[in-house]
């Protein structure tokens, strides 16, 4: 075993690690929730979720669990996504066009009819 001070430092490090893991997990969860609401198109709920995520990021940076620049980068990206988000999801706003039936060129159609007529003539013989 290490010295008493090493043992105490190990215990303190373990406690800090557990607290840090819980807060980092909470940060990730709030960011994920905000991004899901943004992609869904629910802008009002997304604004609330982004505000919660920003607050959580600020607290984590203040407690030195995340680096300040890391928190700032995440906040910036979230706010950019929120600003670009359409009011409704893109899938619903733009219906897909029905596929058009394929039209064969005249040359292909003529060659097929000639081949069909030759085959019919051979069968008749």
Taking only the tens place, the pLDDT of each residue in 59-94 is 999 999 999 999 999 999 999 999 998 866 555 556
Which tokens sit at 122? Answer: 């051979």
Which domains, and CATH codes, for the chain?
4-91 (1.20.58.110)
CB 71, CB 31: distance < 8 Å:
no
The pLDDT confidence band at residue 58, using thresholds 50, 70 and 90, is very high
Instruction: Bin 63: left if φ > 0, else alpha if -120 < ψ < 50, else beta.
Output: alpha
The pLDDT confidence band at residue 95, using thresholds 50, 70 and 90, is low
For 69, which DSSP code? Answer: H
Percent of all residues in the chain with a pLDDT value above 70, rounded to a whole number: 74
User: What's the pTM?
Assistant: 0.63
Residue 5 pLDDT? 96
Which of 42, 118, 38, 20 has its CA nearest to residue 81?
38
114 Cα distance to chain centroid: 55
Which tokens sit at 106? Answer: 């005249």
How many angstroms separate the CA atoms of 125 and 110, rounded? 23
């Amino acid at each position: 075993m290490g010295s008493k001070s090493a043992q105490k430092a190990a215990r303190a490090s373990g406690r800090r690690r557990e607290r840090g893991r819980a807060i980092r997990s909470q940060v990730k969860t709030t960011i994920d929730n905000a991004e899901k609401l943004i992609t869904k198109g629910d802008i009002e709920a997304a604004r609330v979720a982004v505000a919660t995520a920003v607050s959580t990021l600020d607290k984590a940076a203040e407690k030195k669990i995340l680096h300040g620049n890391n928190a700032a980068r995440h906040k910036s990206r979230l706010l950019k996504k929120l600003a670009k988000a359409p009011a409704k999801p893109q899938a619903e706003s733009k219906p897909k066009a029905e596929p058009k039936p394929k039209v064969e060129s005249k040359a292909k159609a003529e060659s097929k009819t000639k081949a069909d007529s030759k085959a019919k003539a051979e069968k008749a013989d």
